[in-house]
Amino acid sequence: MTLTPADIAGSVRHDALTADVTQIARRAVLDTSGAMLAGLHSAQADSVRHMAGLTGAQGAVQTALVLGTAAHALDFDDYEDVGSTHPSAPILAALFASLGARPVTIGDLLLAYVAGYETILLLGDMLSHAHYLKGWHATGTLGALGAAVAVARLLDLPAEGMGQALSIATSQASGLKRQFGTGMKAVHAGMAAQTGVLAAHLAASGLTAAVNPLEGHAGWATLMGAPKDRAGSDRPLTIRDHPPYAKPWPCCGYTHRSIEAALNIQARLPRSPSARIVAIRLDMPDAYLDVAGFRAPRTEAEARFSTSYCVATALLTGALGPEDFHPAALSDPARLAMEARVTAQPYPLPKGAGDMCVDAPDRVEVTLSDGTVLSDSVAHVKGGPDAPLSDRDILDKFIACGGRPEEAHAFNTGSLQSPFQLFTGLQP
């Protein structure tokens, strides 16, 4: 079956905000707002602001670029496994930047978010995990299209108009995994948000684009690597069935199962000074290690994609937070020595497996100087649907990232009437 952009963009109804969907969306908004606050003064966001000063860039498009970059800068924002994206960073950055376009309520914001998120799910299913494995950073590609639909929904465009916004966005959606471990990766989320704002407002201004640029020869999905038997799938995918994964640690999601395994081992380590760690073995799927396999990381960006560094730090300190990616931590002799003891053993993913495959767990094995061997294996990533963070965890994370408790409480209880109240602390 052929799906046009209008079919995709108009699939989320106004009655879609059931109580459970509303709760999922609220958690995502609060979690991502915290990630934005924490990243507002990151090096990547500072570079984007400096560029604006040099060029005079301003307005909603520039705001979306800053906020999207900030949300993704610390790799503390959520992710999903159907399209292999960080969905909420580009969607919410684009929505926050567009709040001044028309009067909107919190309900309008949440509905627009769900529309953008479910667009990413549907297109991610169309492309399959092969899109990500081919080398595309799906946050930049799919995220741009999801952000375009979200803003178009916020602007209350009809299905045809939302489809035009999605179509316009296909001409600018991009992002390469080759940029992982650099500052540019975070800017992919900002550029996706920027594209979403631009595409939706161009559609609202009457610009026309192809009715269906997705399929067929030289179609967007074909060029992006969709298998021929999957393109055009109309299998319903909802945020209820595929909620975002919230992150407990500010680094690549592919490091998280190994981090949890390392923390479990660390809690069991003998406290005797003679029981030193002499070797660490890390077994994880090759496709995941290929992304998060930086060794001896020299920069903050590399360290966030270094499973060996994250595991070494977790074993040394029993925790992993934003401070563990600062320059002083990266040059710590104890961490350098511990990271050097890690031997990574990649193994192939099962055929047809996608992201965070529970049939392909991570395993960490630690050998002590007295010959003792401790190991732990984790299949269900913490923060995912099978091991979700609690509402309290999300609230604590928001506050730790610089959010105000009273603002979070008002948002969670529904007493926050306007999205502008939530956006106040996020002015770039």
Q: How far apart are CA 253 and CA 312, in angstroms?
A: 16
**Sole residue written with tokens 């179609």:** 219
Report all structural domains of the chain as residue ranges with CATH numbers, in order of start: 5-247+385-426 (1.10.4100.10), 253-378 (3.30.1330.120)
DSSP state of 360: S
Angle at 89 between CA 87 and CA 95, to 5 degrees: 100
pLDDT given at position 1: 44
The pLDDT of residue 321: 95
Mean pLDDT by groups of 10 residues along the chain of 428 residues? 71 83 95 95 96 93 96 98 97 94 88 96 92 96 98 94 95 96 97 98 96 89 76 73 97 98 96 86 97 97 98 97 96 97 97 92 97 97 97 95 87 75 64
Please, what's the largest Cα pairwise distance for the chain?
73
Q: What is the pLDDT, as a whole number, of residue 234?
A: 58
How much is the pTM? 0.95
Q: What is the dihedral of CA 223, 252, 60, 92, to 10 degrees?
A: 100
How wide is the angle at C-alpha 222 spanned by C-alphas 221 and 226, nearest 5°? Answer: 70
- What b-and-e string marks burial along 195-205, b requiring 16 or more CB atoms within 10 Å of the CB? bbbbbbbbbbe
Report the DSSP pairing between strands 362-368 and 342-347: unpaired
Please choose, from the candidates 126, 129, 125, 168, the residue with its C-alpha nearest in 3D space to the C-alpha of residue 145: 168
Give the per-residue pLDDT at 226: 72
Q: What share of the chain is helix, strand, coil (3-state, %, to 5)?
A: 55, 10, 40
Characterize 133-154 residue by residue with b for buried, 16 or more Cβ atoms within 10 angstroms of its Cβ, and e for exposed.
beebbbbbbbbbbbbbbbbbbb
Compute CA distances 241 → 3, 80, 131, 386, whole Å: 21, 11, 21, 12
- Rounded to whole angstroms, the Cα distance separating 415 from 356 reads 36
